[in-house]
Amino acid sequence: MKKRVAIIGAGPAGLMAAEVLSQSDYEVHVYEQKPSAARKFLMAGKTGLNISHAEPVAQFIGRYDQAEWLEPWVRQWDAVWIQNWMKDLGIESYIGSSGRVFPIEMKAAPLLRAWLKRLQQQGVQFHYRHQCLELNAAALTVKDLVSEQLAVQHFDAIVLACGALSWSKLGSDGAWQQWLAKDEIEAFQASNAGVERQWSTFMQPVFGQPLKRVEAWVDDQAKTMGDIVISYYGLESGLIYKQGRALREQVKNGQTMQLYLDLLPDQTIAQLAQKLQPSKKQSLSNVWRKAGLDTAKASLVRELVAKALWNDPLALAQKVKHLLIPFSGFRPIEEAISCAGGIKREVLTEQLQLRSNPRVFCCGEMLDWDAPTGGYLLTACFATGRAAAEGVQNYLSAQE
């Protein structure tokens, strides 16, 4: 009789596990509580599916907070591997000027369609609208959400690919956490999320406006450059996401969450101070604008720098290039692009097998790793999906 393997979750990690497992002589069942597969993956494709990144692999691996853990898998199934894999599915890709890898059509849907078709041809059995409610050893209690019927199914191995907590309407609701002991999971936190700050009413006219080409950093950490959007709730952008790990560290250490900005990184303090000299012929706003402070940047300076310094060119220049912004926290986890936290590395073997339940393997965003946006999230979901599936193959062949 064929060995039976269940995969819970038809997101990118679960589908990649299914791809590997369906190449062995197993009966592979994918349970997905939503009516269709990979809803978050499709959402990721809405603004252009950034599936990986073509930077040198050492730099690439350094983007993860659990670099050492993920390295063997991400090296093996890197951006080049992903591009070839897509090509094999009939989807051409390209590398953008920033090194980001996208399918040429940008969307996720054509890739997903081709992928699901191939998985079905390889014999994977999909059970949509089927929610796994309980996990006991190798038995799953599954609810058919249409008929409301419950069934207990037994498997030789189970892959958990249930995702983390954000955007729960797309399926990843975190209910799986009850299947594990509390100390097996690092508490989830919002990642790749905006930061919150209560602005004064003077900031309202610049809500939605970008702070262009600024540098951001946390304490003595590395600076990153890019744009930031001023929002009614605080600040948002990929540049903020890149500082997320350092911001979370501040909270963990009991410090106030705060970020430094250099609003005009192309000018030295001396150059800027020269331009910020008050003039009898020009208004302060004009002087600031000519010095490079557009409306959004000038509003932020007015909001955060004491008025007493506005006519002191050197002190003002120093502030513009070293502007401290405290925040009250991150946006809610529900809105975050991804989550930090998840199943801890030490409760898993090197095969991503749960030490407390050797028939269960875990992959994707439900594991305790994190990375900024830029294709790193999907790359690690694919890679851990494959690694968990190989773990299952090794485990099952050792049983023979």
Q: Catalog residues that contact ligand FAD under the rule CB under 6 A.
A: 8-14, 31-34, 39-41, 43-44, 49-50, 131-132, 161-163, 166-167, 171-172, 175-176, 337-338, 364-365, 373, 375, 377-378, 381
Output 77 or 310, the one with its CB closest to ligand FAD.
77
Q: Is 70 exposed, middle or buried (0-12, 13-18, 19+ CB in 10 A)?
A: buried
Output 257 or 378, the one with its CB closest to ligand FAD.
378
| Cβ contacts of 20 within 8 Å, gap of 6 or more | 385, 386, 389, 390, 393
Output 241 or 327, the one with its CB closest to ligand FAD.
241
Q: Is 248 exposed, middle or buried (0-12, 13-18, 19+ CB in 10 A)?
A: buried
Output 160 or 323, the one with its CB closest to ligand FAD.
160
CB of 12 to ligand FAD, least distance (A): 5
Structure tokens of 279?
């003039």
CB of 379 to ligand FAD, least distance (A): 7
Output 230 or 377, the one with its CB closest to ligand FAD.
377
Report the SS3 class of residue 211. Answer: strand
Output 237 or 373, the one with its CB closest to ligand FAD.
373
CB of 363 to ligand FAD, least distance (A): 7
Output 157 or 381, the one with its CB closest to ligand FAD.
381
| φ and ψ of 351, to 5 deg | -100, 10
Which of 51, 50, 75 has its CA nearest to residue 62?
Answer: 75
Output 86 or 161, the one with its CB closest to ligand FAD.
161
CB of 360 to ligand FAD, least distance (A): 13
CA distance 2 to 57: 39
Question: Which residues on neighbouring strands pair with residue 339, listed in sequence order?
Answer: 190
Residue 399 backbone class (left: φ over 0; alpha: ψ -120 to 50; beta: rest):
alpha
C-alpha count within 13 angstroms, C-beta hemisphere, residue 78 = 14
CB of 328 to ligand FAD, least distance (A): 23
CB of 203 to ligand FAD, least distance (A): 26
CB of 304 to ligand FAD, least distance (A): 30
CB of 352 to ligand FAD, least distance (A): 12
Which of 8, 92, 90 has its CA nearest to residue 51?
Answer: 92
| Burial track 358-377 (b if 16+ CB lie within 10 A, e otherwise) | ebbbbbbbbbbbbbbbbbbb
